[in-house]
């Protein structure tokens, strides 16, 4: 839902009796007589039932059974109100099971299609709509048969946005969870200020923009227990205090401040947690959410297995979706802070980068040398797990944006520590012969210190997420054999394990890694436990 405490918009809403474009029951949480509340135009060619097994948001989704190839009988809609001149970002989650039917988004007319060949995973179909008048418009879906349609097929639908998510308000002035108060004081240039509030699934709970100058705004959000991140932006880059006015913001619960601020540059993000702080096995991790509450083991491989059971079965988004993840979540806001692609093989954390990549436009593509384009680096090479095999092939927790040429130089060689380099990238990543003290005598690739801990924790993630299959990967590749011991518990050869634990200890979890883990959770629905709780690594592998 887009919360905008803009006086002009509020007046327009009162005068015309039109409100913001909120899809009723967009998360399909409310049902009556077997039908989802608010969805009244269900045609004869489809039937709909509640489903609590496959959900993208909340506790239920709509299981739509398509029984006909006659498209005039397959519409699923409702009416929403829009305000002239406003832009609305519509989006819906689609889950295909057979591939004989595709869904088409309807927003005041027919819009884009789902990809029916993307099976057994959630995908988003989106459309940006600018209202030409203040009126009611129809929104929803139509279903089309494709080659292979056998006369009946189930498609799951969830989280039709913009809608109040299941962790949002009740709409009746009461709140049975956490009634969070938000206050904003703008500076002399209020139109430069915007903000978003995201939940732990990286879904927008609230946002605001188009503010007046030197004005006070107050709102209340009814939020469920969980983790949240609040990001405030200033388009000019001078924050909201204190050169041109004395702006500030505050979110509080029962009079106690959760986060607050005023002075920043272009953007600032702060996080807070509501409800049970959880933490599972305990220890020194900074994560305070409830994700690990079911973890009871404290040490050893039993802890690893419990973590595997927790993070197993994530919702793979497909290999092509990595580009979108990089576009939104692999940007340099930590070093040069220039919004370029954060390439772990070229980023220079202490001086100016030799080259930068613009998101999307600099995707590989062809390259003849370093600086040509960026691509998708399987830090745990795909040859080690058997090639383009899902879900490993698109698991964002181990696939990073990197320079295409340097990626090709790394190839499938193990990570290690280089004695004599045959190739050195512009940020001093090296390919060459291994040091004699490492315990391995082959060719290795050594990233710079800034990213060694990140990569070590990605490897411990792989050892845990794929505990049920990783013991069978040892003979897929000569280089995979060099690091894998053929077991499902220790997983790594001793030389690799000792090096990874050293890298983990010497390069602790950073803000960029925490942010990436949050984004990955929103992207595919699971977390890297060793970013949230780095102490788990010592607890599992520390006594070998």
Q: How far apart (Å, rounded) are the C-alpha atoms in residues 47 and 67?
A: 8
pLDDT at 457 over 50: yes
- The answer to whether the Cα torsion of 191, 193, 199, 202 is positive or negative is positive
Q: How far apart (Å, rounded) are the C-alpha atoms in residues 131 and 393?
A: 40
Per-residue model confidence (pLDDT) at position 256: 62
Q: Which tens digits make up the pLDDT trace of 75-99?
A: 899 998 888 778 788 889 899 999 9
Report whether 453 contacts 517 (CB < 8 A): no
Which phi and psi (to 5°) does residue 10 adopt? -65, -40
- Give the H or E element holding residue 129: strand 122-130
Per-residue model confidence (pLDDT) at position 431: 98
Q: How far apart (Å, rounded) are the C-alpha atoms in residues 60 and 222?
A: 20
Which phi and psi (to 5°) does residue 531 adopt? -85, -45
Per-residue model confidence (pLDDT) at position 413: 98
Per-residue model confidence (pLDDT) at position 419: 96
Q: Look up tokens 């991140």; give the residue.
A: 229
Percent of the chain with pLDDT over 70: 90
Residue 59's pLDDT band (boundaries 50, 70, 90)? confident
Where in 2-86 does DSSP place strands (E)? Answer: 31-32, 35-36, 41-42, 46-51, 61-66, 75-82
The highest-confidence range among 161-175, 336-350, 406-420, by mean pLDDT, is 406-420
Report whether 103 contacts 141 (CB < 8 A): yes
Ranges of each domain in the chain: 7-161, 178-274, 317-539
Report whether 173 contacts 221 (CB < 8 A): no
Instruction: Label each residue of 299-367 as H, E or C.
Output: CHHHHHHHHHHHHCCCCCCCCCHHHHHHHHHCECCCCCCCCCECCCCCCCCCCCCCCCCCCCCCECCCC
Q: Look up tokens 């010592």; give the residue.
A: 538
Total Cβ atoms within 10 A of residue 402: 29
The closest alpha carbon to 218, from 179, 187, 249, belongs to: 249
The mean per-residue pLDDT over the stretch 61-73 comes to 87
Fold of the CATH domain 7-161:
Jelly Rolls (2.60.120)
Q: What is the DSSP letter of 293?
A: T
For 82, 94, 110, the CA distances from 138, given in Å and listed in that order, are 10, 19, 10
Q: Which residue has the higher pLDDT, 384 or 200?
A: 384
Q: How far apart (Å, rounded) are the C-alpha atoms in residues 149 and 27?
A: 27
The mean per-residue pLDDT over the stretch 146-175 comes to 70
Q: Which residues of 148-183 are buried (b: 16+ CB within 10 A; e: fewer)?
A: ebeeebbbbbbbbbbbbbbbbbeeeeeeebbebbbe
First to last CA, the chain: 50
Residue 30's pLDDT band (boundaries 50, 70, 90)? confident
The pairs formed by 302-309 with CB atoms below 8 angstroms and a separation of 24 or more are: 303/536, 303/539, 303/540, 304/463, 304/464, 304/467, 304/489, 304/540, 305/467, 307/464, 307/529, 307/536, 308/464, 308/465, 308/467, 308/468
Per-residue model confidence (pLDDT) at position 254: 66
Q: How far apart (Å, rounded) are the C-alpha atoms in residues 37 and 92?
A: 17
The reply to whether 178-274 shares the fold of 7-161 is no
Residue 383's pLDDT band (boundaries 50, 70, 90)? very high
Per-residue model confidence (pLDDT) at position 171: 36
pLDDT at 401 over 90: yes
- Could you tell me whether strands 248-253 and 256-261 are parallel, antiparallel, or unpaired per DSSP bridges? antiparallel
Report whether 541 contacts 497 (CB < 8 A): yes
Q: How far apart (Å, rounded) are the C-alpha atoms in residues 228 and 221?
A: 12
The mean per-residue pLDDT over the stretch 356-380 comes to 95
- Average pLDDT score, the chain: 86
Name the architecture of domain 178-274.
Sandwich (2.60)
């Amino acid at each position: 839902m887009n919360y905008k405490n803009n006086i002009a918009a509020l007046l327009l809403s009162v005068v015309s009796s039109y409100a913001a474009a909120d899809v009723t029951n967009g998360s399909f949480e409310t049902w009556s007589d077997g039908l989802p509340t608010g969805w009244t135009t269900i045609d004869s060619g489809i039937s709909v039932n509640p489903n609590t097994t496959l959900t993208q948001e909340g506790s239920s989704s709509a299981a739509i059974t398509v029984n006909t190839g006659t498209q005039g009988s397959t519409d699923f809609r409702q009416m929403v109100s829009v305000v002239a001149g406003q832009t609305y970002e519509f989006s819906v989650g689609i889950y295909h099971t057979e591939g004989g039917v595709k869904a088409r988004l309807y927003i005041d007319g027919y819009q884009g299609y789902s990809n029916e060949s993307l099976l057994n995973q959630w995908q988003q179909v989106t459309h940006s709509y600018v209202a030409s008048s203040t009126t009611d418009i129809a929104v929803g879906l139509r279903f089309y048969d494709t080659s292979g349609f056998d006369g009946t097929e189930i498609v799951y639908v969830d989280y039709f946005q913009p809608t109040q998510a299941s962790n949002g308000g009740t709409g009746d002035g009461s709140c049975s969870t956490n009634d969070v108060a938000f206050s904003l004081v703008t500076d002399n240039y209020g139109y430069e200020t915007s903000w978003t509030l995201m939940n732990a699934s990286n879904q927008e709970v609230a946002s605001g923009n188009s503010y007046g100058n030197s004005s006070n705004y107050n709102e209340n959000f009814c939020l469920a227990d969980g983790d949240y991140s609040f990001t405030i932006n200033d388009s000019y880059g001078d924050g909201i205090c204190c050169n041109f006015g004395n702006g500030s913001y505050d979110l509080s619960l029962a009079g106690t401040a959760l986060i607050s601020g005023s002075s920043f540059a272009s953007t600032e993000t702060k996080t807070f947690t509501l409800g049970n702080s959880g933490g599972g096995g305990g220890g020194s991790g900074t994560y305070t959410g409830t994700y690990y509450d079911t973890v009871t083991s404290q040490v050893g491989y039993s802890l690893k297995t419990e973590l595997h059971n927790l993070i197993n079965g994530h919702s793979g988004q497909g290999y092509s979706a990595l580009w979108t993840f990089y576009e939104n979540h692999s940007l340099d806001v930590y070093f040069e802070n220039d919004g370029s692609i954060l390439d772990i093989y070229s980023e220079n954390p202490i001086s100016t980068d030799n080259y930068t990549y613009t998101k999307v436009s600099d995707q590989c593509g062809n390259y003849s040398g370093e600086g040509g384009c960026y691509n998708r680096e399987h830090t745990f090479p795909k040859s080690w797990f058997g090639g383009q095999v899902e879900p490993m092939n698109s698991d964002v927790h181990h696939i990073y944006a990197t320079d295409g040429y340097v990626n090709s130089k790394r190839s499938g060689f193990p990570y290690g520590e280089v004695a004599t380099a045959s190739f050195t990238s512009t940020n001093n990543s090296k390919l060459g012969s291994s040091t004699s003290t490492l315990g391995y005598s082959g060719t290795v690739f050594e990233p710079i210190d800034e990213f060694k801990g990140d990569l070590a924790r990605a490897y411990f993630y792989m050892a845990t997420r794929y505990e049920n299959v990783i013991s069978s990967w040892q003979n897929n590749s000569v280089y995979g054999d060099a690091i894998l011991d053929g077991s499902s518990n220790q997983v790594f050869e001793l030389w690799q394990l000792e090096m990874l634990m050293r890298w983990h200890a010497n390069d602790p979890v950073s803000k960029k890694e925490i942010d990436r883990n949050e984004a990955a959770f929103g992207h595919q629905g699971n977390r890297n436990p060793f970013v949230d709780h780095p102490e788990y690594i010592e607890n599992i592998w520390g006594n070998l």
